Amino acid sequence: MALSPPRRWNRTAVSPVLGTILLVAITIVLVAIIYSMVSGFWGKPLNTPQGIITQVQQIDGGRKFLLSSMTSETIWSDVKFLLDLNGTLADATPSTANYTSTKTPGGSVNVFIGKPTLGGEELVFRISDSAADGRINLGDWFTITAADGAMARGNYVIHLVYIPTGEQILEREFSVA
CB neighbour list of residue 113: distance below 8 Å, 6 or more residues apart: 81, 92, 94, 98, 99, 125, 126, 127, 142
What is the per-residue pLDDT for 118? Answer: 72
**Short-list 107, 123, 103, CA closest to 115:** 123
| Cα distance from N-terminal residue to C-terminal residue, the chain | 116
pLDDT for 98-147, tens place per residue? 445 566 655 556 565 556 667 677 888 888 888 878 888 888 888 888 88
If asked whether residues 82 and 166 sit together in one domain, one would say yes
If asked whether residues 66 and 153 sit together in one domain, one would say yes
What is the per-residue pLDDT for 143? Answer: 87
Residue 8 domain flag: no
Number of domains in the chain: 2
Write out the residue range of the structural domain in which residue 31 sits. 14-43
